[in-house]
Each structure stands twice: as C-alpha cells, then as structure tokens.
Amino acid sequence: MLYSGRFQVTLLCLAGISASAQVAVPQVPPAQRKQEDSVIAENRKGAKPRAVAKGKPLSALEQERARVFRAAKKAVVFINASTNLVVRNNATGDIYGIPAGTGTGFVWDDLGHVVTNYHVIKLDAPGAEANQNMENIEVTLSDHQTYKARLIGRSLADDIAVLHVFAPLKDLTPLPLGASRDLVVGQSVLAIGNPFGLDHTLTGGVVSALERVIPSNFSLIKGVIQTDAAINPGNSGGPLLDMSGRLIGMNTAIPAVTGANVGIGFAIPADTLNKVVPVLIAKGQMERPSLGFTSMAPLVALQYFEIEKGVVVDMVEPDSPAARAGLRGIRDQGPKKKPLLGDIIVGFQGKPIRDPVQLADQLELLPPETPLVFQILRDGETLTITLRPLDKAPEVKVSVPA
C-alpha cells in the first residue's frame, strides 16, 4: 500500500493456514538434535567475512550513465507542498485536512528558479476549490538542506510550474539544456526523480515514441515524449536526460490503468519548457493575444467598489474585440467624483470566475480562435456577451476623387 509518498510493505504468509490451526510437528530424536547442535557450534568458529570476488570493469555505457547521474544529481530537488486548508465532506459532514503532496523538480537557472509540474503543487482533494495551490512549499536540495519556496509562475495548458527557492545561489546547479526536436526513437535516455519519496532514483530506457498527445488534469498536452524508463508516482517534475546529461524533457505522467510504471511514461519536451518557462518567470502566466481590455487588481476592486469576487473590467480599447463585443470598462465622472463601475465578469464559458488569475488560466486552455462567452454583471443585471478574439475591425474605405 502506498501512502503520502512513502513505502509501506505488507508481509505475505502462506495462504490457507489459520493462526489458530493445529499443525502436527514431527519430533526430532534427542541424539540427532545433539549431533546437529555440535555441527552448528563447530561451524560458528569459522565465521569470517567472505573474500570479494574480482569483477569486470564497468563498461563504457555504465561509466557514462554513472557520470551523467553524478553530474545531474545536484540539480534534482525534492518538493514537499502542504496547506492548512481543511475540507468538509458534504455527504458525511466530516472535516479533514488535505495531506501534503510530494514530487520532483530541477534547477532551471542560477537565479533561484526551480521547474516542476503544476499538478505537484496543486490541491487535489474533494471539495478543494479548483486551481488552488498548496500554500507551504519546501524544496530539498541534493545536500539534504531544505529551503522555503514560492510559486511564481504556472501554465495549466502545459502543466508547468516555476518556483523561486530561497537557497544560496552557490548551491543551485542548473542542468545543461538539450533540444528535444533532435530526439529520435530508440536513443537512450535517463530519468531522475523521487518515486514513492525515495530521493534521487535513476532509471534508464529509450525514447519509445514522439509527438504523443496526453490528457493532463487541465487540458491536452501535445508533442509529448514517450519513454520506457521507469516512471512512478513521485517522479513528476523530474528531468529526462540524454546520455550527454542534457535536459530533454520533464517527466510528467504515466498511464492511469495501474497508477504505477507499466513501461510507458511521458515527458514534456525541453523545447516546450524553453518556450514557456522564461515567460512564466517574467510574467507569471502565459499570455494570449490581446482581447482589448484590462482588469482591475482584486485588492483595488475591493477597496474602491467593495467587489469581492469576479473580474472588474477596467479599460476597454477602442476598435478591439472587447469593444466590438460591447464590454464596458470603468468610466470617469470628472474631478473629485468616484469613477462609475462598468462590467464585472462573473462567469466564463458557463463556469463561475473568482478573480483575474483564474480567468487567465481558463483563457490559456483555449485555442486562440475560440469564441469567448462571458457572463457579466452590469448595473445589477446578469448578461451574456460573446467576444470573438480574431474579429478584425471593419475596413474604412475612402473614395478618392478621380
């Protein structure tokens, strides 16, 4: 049985023998037993360590694999995330805490950034609010020193999260980066992670397929690497390396049939990481093409308009998709007068929206051409408007006199 990322072992007994069953044990004659005791006592005198047999030198492949592991181990970290949140079971009324989540990550650069899967630090419990993150994140380095970390960027569409770990920068060793576009089926790969809480575990295999599409907790992830290197719960967020020790992917998923390794694992390609991670570090979230409106920060909306939930539309650009959909922003009423509240986005694609971050997450999951259906609150009335991101402003034709 597996629990909270640690090993538990169940000892197996012979089937069909009850603890209370009566079993006849043959009696050993006293003379035979005395003879056996004499042999055992004599042989005890010769107890000593055995001589070590001479083995063959490590093969070139084994030496290379060991070298890659030693070099990469410093960059692989153990992640433990927990929260003080408690959840009520509506059916039974029971209240319980949410257990800690554990997984793997790796040092991205020399500025304190660690990359992992977003699902490693996301709450996943009945009753927990969607897209809520673990609050208390700790990162343990290869020297077994543990440091506080904070989530600074996430992409639901790619299941990628970036942490900032507050460790001495001299102790953070980033992995060299490879190009996943150069991978070929059949080439050797190595995976390092913390399966079942067992830190810095190395497994090996080959690239068994490319360009897979797999479901995540949030969307479909495209262009995924498939490998037969053993990947188990706890490996999520760990690096997949080529035999040069370069990062070529981030181990992410296994088939949900058994919940453990069955010879097929999936990794997000390094090329995707190299495109997404810098944006997450710089901006916190992936950005889609401009829709033509900005939102007010939740704290400001609460302070000025006492709006606790939803997205307060701040400014709407003229001739933008938002303007053509009829979205209204905050209107100025002149000096010394309180601005007039415009639209509040309270729903998106039929689901409630809590704040601008949640809206950005949901927008990221949709293709750029998808019509966006917003439920808005305007002057106390709930309305539905549809914003079409790729709509162009009508061309203005000018007649030129001949």
Task: Enumerate the active-site residues.
Answer: 119, 159, 236
Nearest to 356 by CA among 291, 266, 281, 401: 291
3-state helix, strand, coil in the chain (%, to 5): 20, 30, 50
Do 235 and 104 form a contact (C-beta atoms < 8 A)? yes
Report the alpha-carbon distance of residue 333 to residue 342 in Å, rounded: 12
Letter string b/e over residues 356-391, b meaning 16 or more CB atoms within 10 A of that residue's CB: bbbbbbbbbbbeeeeebebbbbbeeeeeebebebee
Say how far apart CA 82 and CA 134 lie, in whole Å: 5
Residues facing residue 2 across a β-bridge: 7
Quick count: other Cβ atoms within 10 Å of Cβ 281? 17
Burial, 138: exposed, middle or buried (Cβ in 10 Å; 0-12, 13-18, 19+)? middle
* Total residues found in the chain within this entry: 402
Cβ atoms of residues 238 and 191 within 8 Å: yes
Of 97, 113, 94, 95, the C-alpha closest to 105 is 113
Amino acid identity, position 325: A
Distance CA 288, CA 293 (A): 12
Cα angle value 25/28/31 (rounded, 5°): 170
DSSP 311-322: EEEEEE-TTSHH
